[in-house]
Every structure is written in structure tokens, then in C-alpha cells.
Structure 1
Amino acid sequence: MPLSVSLSAWLLTGVAVAVVIVIDLVAGRGRRPSPLQAGVWVGVYLILAVAFGIGWGLVAGADSAVQFFAGYLTEYSLSVDNLFVFGVVMAAFAVPATQEARVLLVGIAAALVLRGLFILAGAAAIDRFSATFYLFGAFLIFAAVQLVRHRGVQPDIARNPVLRLVARILPTTPDYHGTAWMIRVAGRRLLTPMAMVIVAIALCDVMFALDSIPAILGLTQEPYLVFTANAFALMGLRQLYFLLGGLLDRLVYLSHGLALVLAFIGVKLIAQAAHDTFPQIPQIPVWLSLTVILTVLAATTIASLAASRHTRTQDANNSASGTTPPAQPVPPGGKTH
């Protein structure tokens, strides 16, 4: 695939992304933002993404802009779903509230680097082997099925083989020591839980990239657009985590919506590969992809909030009538689900 974006544009974009991350780090200083601060930052990042998409459209054409927006919406939606897992990781490691913002920022920066590597590998594979479309398409359909099958199931972080191997090889301490990843005790270097959290977040980032990169490559094969869509989707994710708060639990149908989007893109990839061999098979245009993604995400969000509202109303009515079932006892050291 020929490089349609100059090296200077790549370098300028990389510098701009790095500057934004540094500004985010310095402005927040690792603190938990207030709802107002989080909302302002999320709004700023959304405006930047829209401005970039419009500017890109003026330079490269409307079709290219549609590709960016379709990729951005897909990556942003998958990133929101990933916030659930970030929450599980921090709860599993009992991350202090004062350190949550820093953990998220480091994790998101690591995700950007890892996704960049996956983008290069995926683009190179597609350029060399057209059959990669079939592979990516089948994988996305499989991922969609797994997403529905395992919806609501929290990952067991403690049983992750990589984390267990790290803990077995490298000595660790059970206590947090501020933001330090490693401390020295009696002449020995010990990893802190903060280091283990970062490893866990990085592992999650790898798993996220396995879904997100094939998904966006099904919408555009321009590496520059793939990278910028991922960068804009990840920037502001830390603030979005604190802004949404308990709202994440209300998006009960998000997994269904994302599964439908992944399956649709998987079919699009397979159809695109088949079109090269059998021209009579129609290709799915990008504008239709964007329409489907917008419709599915909007319907999923509305249905989720409506279902959550109905559940809360029903619980309130049961409580008022005295029919609320008795709470189950909490097992020692655990929580009810």
C-alpha cells in the first residue's frame, strides 16, 4: 500500500499527540478530575476530533473524511467498553483513588504505543496478503459472538498467567508506595502493586488492540487515518472514565451494540476480499458503514438508558411497597454479584 501521507505529516502528528498527552499529564498532575473538569476535557477532545475530520475532508476529500469518522466512532465505542475492564483491574488491585487518574493516563499512553505497532503490522499484512481480509473478517465475527456470550462476565485478573509469572519471578510488596513502581527494602528491589497494575493494563491494551485494529482496518486501509482515529479515541478517555462514573453500569446493551458493529465490519471485510475475486459481489460503501455504526450505537445507548431507568423505577416501587427482596449476605472477603 503506497504511503499517501508525507513523513513530515506523520512526524507532526506524532509530536502533536505527544504534546497533548504531556499537557494532559501536567494539567491534571495525576489528580482525579472533578465532573466539570472531566466534562470540559472530554468536550475539548471531541471538538478536536471533529475539527480534524473536517479539515482532513477539505484536504483529502469527503470520502476520506467519512472513513475517519467511521473509524473514530468505532474505536471510541470500543474504548468506552474497555473502561469497564479498566475499572475491574483497578478494583482487583485496590488502586487508591488518588492514583486512579495516573494509572489510567499511563495505561492509555501504553495503549497508543501498542496500537501503533499493531497498525503497522496489520497494514503490512493487508498490503502483502489480500487473504488477510478474510482472516480479519472471520476474527471480528468470532469476537462479536464471544462479546455477546461473555457479556457481564468480569475477567479474573488474579489468574492471568503473565501476572502470575511476573509475581513469581520478581519479588513484590503488597503495599502501595505512592506512584513508585519499585522500591528498595533491605537491599532488595521489590515491585509495588502499582507496577503490577500497569502490567495488567498493558495486557488489556493488547487484547483490546486485537479487536479494534482489525475493526478499523475494515473501514479504512490508510495507516494515517487508522492511527489518528485511535489517537483521538484514546485521548480524553481518562476524563471520560471519571465523567461517566456510574453511568457505565447503565449501558447494559453496549456489548450487544458493539458485537453487532464488529460483526457488520467483519462481513464488510469478507465482502471486500470476495469482490476482488468475484467482481459481481457488491462492496459495502463507507457511508453505509458510518450510517450503520451511528444507528446501532444510538439505538444501543437509548435502549440501555431506558432499560436502566425502568429497572430503577421498578426497584423504587418495590421498595415503597415493601416488596424488596432481602439482601443476600456478603461472603467473607467478597461481594455479591
Structure 2
Amino acid sequence: MESIAPLWLWGVFVAFVLVALFVDFVVLSKQGAHEVGVREALYWSLAWVAVSLVFNALFWWAIKDTTGSVEVANEKALEFLTGYLIEKSLAVDNIFVFLLIFTYFAVPPTFQKRVLMIGILGAIVLRTIMILVGAWLLDQFHWILYVFGAFLILTGVKMWIGADSESNLDDNPALKLLRRIMPVSKEYDGEKFWTVENGKKIATPLLMVIALVAMTDVIFAVDSIPAIFAITKDPFIVLTSNVFAILGLRAMFFLLQAAASRFHLLNYGLAVILVFIGTKMMLIDIFKIPVSVSLGVVMGVLAITMVWSAKTAPNT
């Protein structure tokens, strides 16, 4: 699992993540439980994008300094940007599921921020493990690329076919599993995860929601992580682009929450992206599609889908 990134850059990345988590869990937690407005969500979304771009600039400089090649630095920085954009776009699908979960469990708006904060922390840990294992498997067994590619194509086709169908949380396997192993109270008890009913300590719905959010993210990671491996096999780029996209997920959730209906056709675009990336992975030993082309396709599909969604939005 060799990476072009120097060792010190791994340390910088860890420092970036620790500072980000400190801001989320310490600084923002002092605000207490409150409903996040669109303006606050917009500011934080822009801040996370800016932080990601700053890190990519540092990554470019580090690769240029290490290899002495501007061309290599440009290529690797473009791989990070493409992977980051793919993760951001696929994360929108996560957000719609999170909205469904919050609605199903009637999570008060003032509690949603904390749920996402803890869910994101769990997602970072679990995705890191999955990425490192995936990188090792690809290093040992090249043919797994074809398995990943076929899986992405099938997932894209399935997403296209079911794009107009309504999601039903009752059919969610993660929820069924949690209900079997975790007795849950019928009412919330503030922001507590545990409460006492009839002298017995049981979980509150808030703990159920956090567990479900984390498990749902892992399920989505099965799609998104192979998608980035189609862009690069460098574990550093795969991990950093994933994590930086996840760090901005909470702010993006609240930003899109108010405009979810305007992106009703986005699943069609995500389906096209998954099929394209899966095809790219299947052809990797025959014809390697340039990263710049992949970035252009992803951006173009997202732009077309968003414009198409805006023009055909139900409330317009």
C-alpha cells in the first residue's frame, strides 16, 4: 500500500482532522442544542470546502517538493479533487436517507446537529478501516478492480431504476437489526442516549438514530469507496478525499434540508456517475480514461442534473 505522499503529510492530515473534530465537538458544542439555519449551514459548507482546497494546495506543493515534478503534482492534486467531488456528490444520497431517518423518528431539529456530529466521527473511523483494507486487497489482487467496477455498474443501474420510488425505512435492514438487539423507549429524554423506564435502563430513540446513521453511512461507503479507487489507488488520496468530504457532510445536510425537493432528479445523475466510474474501472487495463476527463464528466453530469431538477421542481 505505497503512497506518493511523504510521511510528514500524513501527520499534517491527522492534525487537520483533529482540529476539525475539536471545532465540532468542543467549540460548536458550547452553542448547545439549537436548530441550524440555512445561513449558518452555508457558511460552514463554504468553510469546509475552503479547508479541503487548502489541504489540496498543500498536497500539491508536497508532491512537487518530493518528486520535483509539476506534472506529477498536478496529476495527484487533480486525483484528490476528483475523488473529493465524487464523494461530495454521492454524499447527497446519504443526506436524503438521513432526512428520512430524522423524519421517521421525529428527531427534534435542536438535536439533529449532535446526531450528525457523532455519526460523522463513527463514519471516519469505519471508512478509514474499509479504505485501508480495500487498498491492501487491490495491492494483492488486481482482479478485484473488475469486481468493484461491475458492482458500481449494477448499483448505478439499480439506482436509475428505483430513482422515482419512495424510500421506506421499515424495510431498512440496519433498522431491523437494531430493533432486535436494542430495546428503545418511545420518548426522547433531552439529548440523553439512555433513560430509565420501569426501573430498567434502556436506549432512547436518539441512540437508535445515531447508530442507524453510522450504519447507513457504512452501507453507502460500499459504493463510494470503490468509486474513488477507480480514480486512484493511492491510499492517501482515497482516504483524505473521503474524510474531507465527510467532515463537510453535517453542514451540507442542513444546507440541503430546506431544498431537498429541488434535487428530486439527482439520483439519476448519481446513477450515471456510478455507471461511468464502474466502466472506467472495467476498462483500466485496456484504456485508462484521464483523470481530467473523469472530473469533467462528474461535474458535467451534476450540473445538468441540478439544472434539470431546478426546472422541473414540483414547487415551480
TM-score, scaled to structure 2 = 0.90
For the residue of structure 2 that corresponds to 1:282, the secondary structure is coil
Once the two structures are superposed, residues 120-178 of structure 1 have per-residue CA deviations (whole angstroms, 9 ceiling, x without a partner) of 11111110001011000000001101111121434332343443343334432111111
1:175 is aligned to 2:187? yes
Q: Which residue of 2 aligns with 1:102?
A: 114
Q: Which residue of 2 aligns with 1:41?
A: 44
Matches within 5 A, 1:1-337: 1-29=1-29, 30-60=33-63, 61-272=73-284, 275=285, 281-308=286-313, 311-313=314-316
Percent same amino acid at aligned positions?
A: 38
- Following the alignment from structure 2 to structure 1, what is the Cα–Cα distance between the partners of residues 178 and 50? 41
- Following the alignment from structure 1 to structure 2, what is the Cα–Cα distance between the partners of residues 55 and 6? 12
User: Cα distance 1:160–1:34, how it changes in 2: closer, same or farther (>3 A)?
Assistant: closer
- Two-structure CA RMSD over aligned residues (Å): 1.8
Q: Which residue of 2 aligns with 1:331?
A: none
User: Cα distance 1:2–1:247, how it changes in 2: closer, same or farther (>3 A)?
Assistant: same
For the residue of structure 1 that corresponds to 2:87, the secondary structure is helix
For the residue of structure 1 that corresponds to 2:4, the secondary structure is coil
The runs of 5 or more residues in structure 1 that have no matched partner are 276-280, 314-337
1:4 corresponds to which letter in structure 2?
I
TM-aligned CA deviation for residue 7 of structure 1: 4.2
For the residue of structure 1 that corresponds to 2:283, the secondary structure is helix
For the residue of structure 1 that corresponds to 2:201, the secondary structure is strand
TM-score, scaled to structure 1 = 0.85
C-alpha contact 1:157 1:200 (8 A) present in aligned 2: no
1:57 corresponds to which letter in structure 2?
W
Once the two structures are superposed, residues 47-80 of structure 1 have per-residue CA deviations (whole angstroms, 9 ceiling, x without a partner) of 1112222232233210001101110100000112
TM-aligned CA deviation for residue 18 of structure 1: 2.3
Quick check: 207-216 or 179-188, which moved more?
Answer: 179-188
Q: Which residue of 2 aligns with 1:333?
A: none
User: Cα distance 1:3–1:55, how it changes in 2: closer, same or farther (>3 A)?
Assistant: closer
1:284 corresponds to which letter in structure 2?
I
2:39 corresponds to which letter in structure 1?
L
C-alpha contact 1:136 1:269 (8 A) present in aligned 2: yes
For the residue of structure 1 that corresponds to 2:187, the secondary structure is coil
- Following the alignment from structure 1 to structure 2, what is the Cα–Cα distance between the partners of residues 162 and 295? 34
C-alpha contact 1:250 1:305 (8 A) present in aligned 2: yes
For the residue of structure 2 that corresponds to 1:190, the secondary structure is strand
User: Cα distance 1:59–1:7, how it changes in 2: closer, same or farther (>3 A)?
Assistant: closer
State the structure with more CA Rg: 1
- Following the alignment from structure 2 to structure 1, what is the Cα–Cα distance between the partners of residues 60 and 191? 42
2:248 corresponds to which letter in structure 1?
G
For the residue of structure 1 that corresponds to 2:196, the secondary structure is strand
- How many pairs align? 304
For the residue of structure 1 that corresponds to 2:36, the secondary structure is coil
TM-aligned CA deviation for residue 81 of structure 1: 2.0
2:241 corresponds to which letter in structure 1?
A
C-alpha contact 2:5 2:62 (8 A) present in aligned 1: no
Once the two structures are superposed, residues 290-317 of structure 1 have per-residue CA deviations (whole angstroms, 9 ceiling, x without a partner) of 1111111111111111222xx434xxxx
User: Cα distance 1:234–1:149, how it changes in 2: closer, same or farther (>3 A)?
Assistant: same
C-alpha contact 2:227 2:278 (8 A) present in aligned 1: yes
TM-aligned CA deviation for residue 6 of structure 1: 4.1
- Following the alignment from structure 2 to structure 1, what is the Cα–Cα distance between the partners of residues 42 and 282? 39
Quick check: 37-46 or 185-194, which moved more?
Answer: 185-194
TM-aligned CA deviation for residue 11 of structure 1: 3.4
Quick check: 231-240 or 65-74, which moved more?
Answer: 231-240
User: Cα distance 1:296–1:90, how it changes in 2: closer, same or farther (>3 A)?
Assistant: same
For the residue of structure 2 that corresponds to 1:312, the secondary structure is coil
